[in-house]
Amino acid sequence: MTMRPFTCALSVFLLGLGCVLLPGQEPERHIPRNVIVIVVDDLNDSIAGFGGHPQAKTPHLDRLRQRATTFTNAHCNAPICGPSRASMWTGLHPISTGYYGYQQQRNHWRQFPALAHAPTLMERLRDHGMQVGGTGKVFHNGHEDNSVWSTEGVISGSGYPSDFGPWPWDGTTIRWGRRHGVGHPRMPGEFAGFRWDGFGPLSDIPQVPATDESPGYTGWVLGDGAFHWRSNEDRDLMPDELNAQWAAQRLQHEHDTPFFMVVGMNRPHAPRYAPDEYFDLFPLDEVQLPAYKEDDLKDVPTILWQNEDGSRQWQAQWLPRLLAAGGEEWWRRSVRSYLACVAFVDAQIGVVLDALEDSPHAANTLVIIVSDHGFHLGEKDHLKKTTIWEEVTRIPMIISGPGVSAGASVSHPVSLIDIYPTVLDLLHIPTNEYDATLDGHSLRPFLEDADATWDGPSVALSVLHGPHHVEPHQPAPIEDQHHSIRDQRYRYTLCSDGSEELYDLKNDPHSWHNQADNPAYAREKERLRQTLYHLVFADHP
């Protein structure tokens, strides 16, 4: 794919990021000087205005949207943390790198041949003279590359590490030098033993009982120590609160050098523990469950929810298992915890936005808010991610700042790989050889005019890793993956075994009816199939 040339409309040359003006010239007011990217973990469309959960409360994101361009048909390129973030930060699609996410904890993205020396967006901007720093979950946890940050300046280095705590603890288990969290004992049935699937307000203090192997523990832990909670007013700060403060404090300073700041929010990633005030926003008996169809997997290719190691079957049984353990009340509690964590993260985003508005950088800073992928709240019996359906591939994408239309909405399909070239374009950074290899396209035409055309594709492409074993750090065969494209109306998926899905999202917004074998949709299916083949196999033989 080819990139749009990044040209400066004024007759200027660039020094750092500031345009050096000729005598008598006025500066261009639509060129941003700084960039803040806020990446929210596991955030689906549960934001007011995105058509997701109708009870979502996100006043700070709503405020930003009023002066931003919102992309309502934005998608991740891989529906799992590791490859999604590696793809976004390098601008390379998984089909170009072979890093799809199979056993992602064993596969560090920097160990893949195509990614080993790929300059991230951070490195690209740092090498151009910007000060670059970040905090929280920027890369997949355990896959951090702190060499991408600047070593000098107020905004430099890595702030707080990614941390999903606080956690319950059994009083004895230590891993990687930290107290290793366990499941919350008040979860129903087998879920009390699942570390990653607890949820509830912080006031629900875990009391893990003693066993023959451990002494038990009462209270929360975070990192290598205890997490203090005595009341909602007397407690330690959660990781995302610390991340927001890190950003806010640095925005108070004057900066002679333009900056690029990344703020990675951990919530609403599980476990979904959050301060009580955010749970109180959603009385349990008023929480609405998502639209649900029994036997929704009946017309879905089995390879999408079954695989050799059983992990897909395990995910597809998650809602039925929760219902068996605790009934509909606990499904409702699960949805409530997600909404509470989204509201909590929105408040932390508000801290950053308030600090920016009160800073000297408000008028010349680009703000980008995205998620690495979405999340299921029970649709298709899933309560997790790592699927190729709308609930997981679709993400929020909000962009505001100089040169960006305010209050605009774009329905054209775009994806996370478009962030890299967009930032370069908006900052008017000259191209280099690597830019020609980027798989994304600049969103600048849409940011200037929501109804514009662009040189990018007519669809967004997402890829789910296939069921077959892949050796660590080896590119996975492209033909073994599941590929899905989304245009303005349809989602078409071609699985590695040749089975297909086709959803008409205009008439079937919940993807309940797979039309792949319906003769009435044969023409549309063939059109989309050809589009997918061109993107995936023609460009990457």
Residue 351 shares a structural domain with residue 287:
yes
User: Smallest Cα–Cα separation from 281: which of 41, 59, 39, 38?
Assistant: 59
In a domain, 438, yes or no: yes
DSSP string, 230-252: SSSSSBPPPHHHHHHHHHHHHHT
What does the alpha-carbon distance between residue 511 and residue 302 come to, in Å, rounded to a whole number?
A: 16
Tokens of 94: 């998984």
Q: Which contiguous run of DSSP H or E holds residue 344?
A: helix 328-357
In a domain, 413, yes or no: yes
In a domain, 355, yes or no: yes
Mean pLDDT of the chain: 92
Do 89 and 120 form a contact (C-beta atoms < 8 A)? yes
> Does residue 229 sit in helix, strand or coil?
strand
In a domain, 492, yes or no: no
Question: In the predicted model, is pLDDT for residue 65 greater than 80?
Answer: yes
Residue 157 shares a structural domain with residue 191:
no
User: Smallest Cα–Cα separation from 259: which of 384, 365, 416, 147?
Assistant: 365
Residue 146 shares a structural domain with residue 283:
yes
In a domain, 97, yes or no: yes
DSSP state of 259: E
In a domain, 200, yes or no: yes
Type of residue found at 464: L
CATH classification at residue 34:
3.40.720.10
What does the alpha-carbon distance between residue 374 and residue 77 come to, in Å, rounded to a whole number?
A: 11
| Segment 130-176, tens digit of pLDDT | 999 999 999 998 889 999 999 998 999 999 999 999 999 999 999 88
Cis omega (within 30 of 0) for bond into 201: no
Which of 452, 473, 494 is a domain's end point? 473
In a domain, 485, yes or no: no
Tokens of 156: 């430099």
Confidence band, pLDDT 50/70/90 cuts, at residue 28: low
Residue 401 shares a structural domain with residue 426:
yes
Mean pLDDT of 58-86: 97
What does the alpha-carbon distance between residue 220 and residue 229 come to, in Å, rounded to a whole number?
A: 8
| Segment 191-244, tens digit of pLDDT | 999 999 999 999 999 999 999 999 999 999 999 899 999 999 999 999 999 999
| Segment 343-396, tens digit of pLDDT | 999 999 999 999 999 999 999 999 999 999 999 999 999 999 999 999 999 999
Residue 180 shares a structural domain with residue 133:
no
Confidence band, pLDDT 50/70/90 cuts, at residue 104: confident
DSSP string, 401-429: STT--TTEEE-S-EEGGGHHHHHHHHTTP
Residue 369: what pLDDT?
Answer: 99
Do 192 and 204 form a contact (C-beta atoms < 8 A)? no
Tokens of 513: 């009816």
Residue 384 shares a structural domain with residue 254:
yes
Residue 105: what pLDDT?
Answer: 78
Instruction: State the residue range of the domain holding 524.
Output: 502-541
Question: In the predicted model, is pLDDT for residue 23 greater than 70?
Answer: no
What does the alpha-carbon distance between residue 512 and residue 295 come to, in Å, rounded to a whole number?
A: 10
Q: Which residues of 392-417 are buried (b: 16+ CB within 10 A; e: fewer)?
A: bbbbbbbbbbbbbbeebebebbbbbb
Residue 185 shares a structural domain with residue 276:
no
The number of residues making up the chain comes to: 541
Provide the percentage of residues in the chain whose pLDDT is more than 90: 85
Question: In the predicted model, is pLDDT for residue 520 greater than 60?
Answer: yes
Phi-psi region of 485 (alpha: psi -120 to 50; beta: other; left: phi over 0): beta
Helix axes 318-326, 328-357, angle to 10 degrees: 110
| Segment 262-310, tens digit of pLDDT | 999 999 999 999 999 999 999 999 999 999 999 999 999 999 987 666 6
Residue 395 shares a structural domain with residue 506:
no
Chain-centre distance of CA 338, in angstroms? 15
Residue 107: what pLDDT?
Answer: 86
Confidence band, pLDDT 50/70/90 cuts, at residue 467: confident
In a domain, 483, yes or no: no
| Segment 439-464, tens digit of pLDDT | 999 999 999 999 999 999 999 999 99
Residue 531 shares a structural domain with residue 405:
no
Residue 181 shares a structural domain with residue 72:
no
Residue 151 shares a structural domain with residue 112:
yes
Residue 415 shares a structural domain with residue 541:
no
State how beta strands 131-136 and 259-265 pair.
Answer: parallel
Look at the chain and report how many structural domains it folds into: 3
User: Smallest Cα–Cα separation from 223: which of 271, 272, 162, 266?
Assistant: 162
Hunting for tokens 């492409």 — which residue is that?
461
